[in-house]
Amino acid sequence: MPITLDEVRHVARLARLELTEDELRAFQTELDALLGHFQDLQAVDVTGVAPKPHAVALQNVLAEDVARFGLTRDQALANAPKSRAGLFLVPSIRED
Amino acid sequence: MSNKLGQLTATEIAAALQRREMSAREVAQAFLDVTDTYGAFLHVDAERTLAEADAAQARLDAGETSPLLGVPVAIKDNISTQGRPTTCASRILEGYIPPYDATVISQLHGAGMPLLGKTNLDEFAMGTSTENSAYAVCKNPWDPTRSPGGSSGGSAAAVSGGLAPISLGSDTGGSIRQPAALCGLVGFKPTYGRVSRFGLVAFGSSLDQIGPFGQTVADVAAISQVICQTDGLDNTSLPDAPLGAMDLANASVKGKRFALPRELMSDAVEANVRASIEQAIRTLEAAGATVDHVDLPSLSLGVSTYYVIAPAEASSNLGRFDGVRYGAREEAPGHVESLMATRGKKFGHEVKLRIMVGTYALSAGYYDAYYLRAQQIRGLMVAEIDALWGEYDAILSPTSPCVAFPLGGFSHDPMALKQMDFCTIPANMGGYPALSLPCGLADGLPVGLHLMGPVRGDERLLELAAGVERELGCAPLRPGLA
Q: Inform me whether the pLDDT recorded for A60 exceeds 90.
A: no
A96 band by pLDDT with thresholds 50, 70 and 90: low
> Tell me: the pLDDT tens digits for B328-346?
999 998 889 999 999 999 9
Domain count, chain B: 1
Q: Inform me whether the pLDDT recorded for B28 exceeds 80.
A: yes
Q: Inform me whether the pLDDT recorded for B91 exceeds 50.
A: yes
Least confident of B169-183, B239-253, B427-441, B466-480: B466-480
* 3 state SS of A44: coil
State the DSSP H helix or E strand holding residue B187, giving kind and residue range, or none if neither. Answer: strand B186-189
Question: Choosing among B86, B236, B238, B360, which should be mutated to test the A contact, i.e. which has the most A CBs within 10 A?
Answer: B360
Contact A40 B304 (CB under 8 A): yes
Mean pLDDT of B19-35: 97
A82 touches chain B (CB under 8 A): yes
A94 touches chain B (CB under 8 A): no
B175 flagged as catalytic = yes
DSSP for residue B147: -
Q: What is the pLDDT of residue A91?
A: 84
Higher per-residue confidence, B35 vs A94: B35
Share of chain A above pLDDT 90, in %: 74
Q: Inform me whether the pLDDT recorded for B474 exceeds 90.
A: no
* 3 state SS of A12: helix
B76 flagged as catalytic = yes
Higher per-residue confidence, B57 vs A1: B57
Mean pLDDT of B41-69: 97
Measured between beta carbons, which residues in chain B are less than 8 angstroms from residue A91?
331-335, 337-338
Q: What is the pLDDT of residue B114?
A: 98
A83 band by pLDDT with thresholds 50, 70 and 90: very high
The residue ranges of every structural domain in chain A are 5-42
Looking at every residue in chain B, the average pLDDT score rounds to 96
Q: Helices B217-227 and B10-18 sit at what angle, rounded to 10 degrees?
A: 70
Q: Whole-angstrom Cα distance, residue B218 to residue B214? A: 8
Mean pLDDT of B260-282: 97
Q: Which of B76, B139, B189, B346 is catalytic?
A: B76
Cis status, amide bond into B151, omega within 30 of 0: yes
Q: What is the pLDDT of residue B482?
A: 41
Q: What is the pLDDT of residue A55?
A: 86
List, in order, residues 6 or more apart from A96 with CB less than 8 Å away. Answer: none
With CA atoms as reference, report the closest residue to B104 among B211, B215, B204, B214: B211
- Closest-CA residue of A relative to B204 is A54
**Strand ranges in B206-356 using DSSP code E only, listed in sequence order:** 209-214, 257-261, 290-294
* 3 state SS of B445: strand
Q: How far is CA B439 from CA A51, B9, B260, B471, in A?
A: 36, 18, 16, 10
Query: B338 lies in which domain range?
Result: 1-482
**CATH number of the structural domain spanning residue B328:** 3.90.1300.10
* 3 state SS of B188: strand
Q: Helices B217-227 and B103-110 sit at what angle, rounded to 10 degrees?
A: 110
Mean pLDDT of B383-412: 96
Give the phi and the psi of residue A49 in degrees, each rounded to 5.
-85, 125
Contact A18 B235 (CB under 8 A): no
Pick one of 1.10.20, 1.10.490, 1.20.1690, 2.50.20 as the CATH number of A5-42: 1.10.20
Measured between beta carbons, which residues in chain B are less than 8 angstroms from residue A15?
315, 343, 352, 355-356, 359
Q: What is the pLDDT of residue B298?
A: 96
Mean pLDDT of B463-482: 88
Q: Inform me whether the pLDDT recorded for B414 exceeds 80.
A: no
